[in-house]
Structure 1
Amino acid sequence: MKTNRKRTYEWMNPLETADKAKTMSGFDFLNSISKGETPLPPIAETLEFHPLSVEIGRVVFEFEAKEYHYNPIGSVHGGVISTVLDTVMGCTVHSMLPQGVIYTTLELKINFIKAVTIKNGKMKAEARIIHLGKNTALVEADLRDEQGHVYAHGVSTCMIINLNK
């Protein structure tokens, strides 16, 4: 039996948010998102994940699998998990950057350990900085269920870009 589902959502202009980011340190900017003072980026609205905590060098997001995250074989698509982990890792790097300095992902590696489904409930994506240099950063993250079981692990290299130069 075919059953249709429908989903609608809204998002704010991401260019306005990006302009705001340029006026604040990464930590202050991420805290403003976490507190609801700055809107979530469209990708977070689309995939429904959000920050739980922001510290310098450590960020935690919450993610709960939904049917619309599924691939054709009945589990969350790897691209969704990769996006959540890439975002939390990027935010962790951003949490350490001063005003006028941004980042971009240079390399991303994700290990998928267990299938994620709607049965997993709320999950946490937690990232930790490994190294922050002048031009690059290395960061890692895990996606875990409420019992602490790891479902995916990621490592990312980010390029640091100073907009003031």
Structure 2
Amino acid sequence: MPEQFTPERADQLPGPDEILSMSGLEFMQKVLAGELPMAPIGAALNYRLQSVAAAEVIFRGTPGFDHMNPSGTIHGGWYGTLLDSAMACAVMTCVPKGSVYTTLEYKVNIIRPIPSGVTVDAIGTVEHAGRSTGVATGRIVGVEDGKLYATGSTTCIIMTPK
């Protein structure tokens, strides 16, 4: 499988016509296969796509010093961004060709701090995907220790541009 890649410029991201030409599942599979670029934020926050299936997406990441708040723990924004990516991309796998989606809202419950350098999986699972909304839940789980670090939920809007 080709290596996933991070674009260096905005013009390397897929345009609206390319995005609308495939289903959300096809799009996510192409990102995983390295045929389309990862979201640039993944490089900044040290996470990447791990697996893609219909109604489930997993991102794997390792927070470090650059992701800490002033008190020396991993910033809540890291948890939130990782869970938003996993949950919203899970919804994306249910979006039909010709449609797009975006997050309307999400909620995060941090259960325990992730130690710096610990690798975790963020697992997004679709609970509902209809014509206009998608609902998903997420979990951040330690790869080595199996601990549950955070949970989340999201609602996404699904739209067909005219």
TM-score (norm 2): 0.89
Q: Quickly say closer, same or farther: Cα 1:61–1:74, change in 2 above 3 A.
A: same
Q: Residues 1-165 of structure 1 correspond to what in structure 2 (within 5 A)? A: 11-13=8-10, 16-19=13-16, 20-119=18-117, 121-146=118-143, 147-163=145-161, 165=162
Q: Which amino acid aligns with 1:84?
A: L
Query: Quick check: which has more Rg, 1 or 2?
Result: 1
Q: Which amino acid aligns with 1:30?
A: M
Q: Is the 8 A contact 1:59 1:91 kept in 2?
A: yes
Alignment partners' CA distance in 2, 1:148 and 1:91: 23
> Which secondary structure does the structure 2 equivalent of 1:118 belong to?
coil
Q: Is the 8 A contact 1:127 1:139 kept in 2?
A: yes
Q: Quickly say closer, same or farther: Cα 1:52–1:91, change in 2 above 3 A.
A: same
**Overall identity of the aligned pairs, in %:** 32
Q: Which runs of structure 1 show a deviation greater than 4 angstroms over 4 or more consecutive aligned residues?
A: none
| Count of residue pairs brought into register by the alignment | 155
Partner of 1:6: none
1:117 deviation in Å?
Answer: 2.2
1:118 deviation in Å?
Answer: 1.3
Q: Is the 8 A contact 1:143 1:151 kept in 2?
A: yes
> Which secondary structure does the structure 1 equivalent of 2:89 belong to?
helix
Q: Is the 8 A contact 1:11 1:41 kept in 2?
A: no
TM-score (norm 1): 0.87
Unaligned runs of 5+ in 1: 1-8
Alignment partners' CA distance in 2, 1:70 and 1:17: 31
> Which secondary structure does the structure 1 equivalent of 2:44 belong to?
helix
> Which secondary structure does the structure 1 equivalent of 2:77 belong to?
helix
Q: Which amino acid aligns with 1:152?
A: A
Unaligned runs of 5+ in 2: 1-5
Q: Is the 8 A contact 1:14 1:42 kept in 2?
A: no
| 1:101-151 per-position Cα deviation (integer Å, ceiling 9, x unaligned) | 1111111110000011214x2110001101112111110000010222110
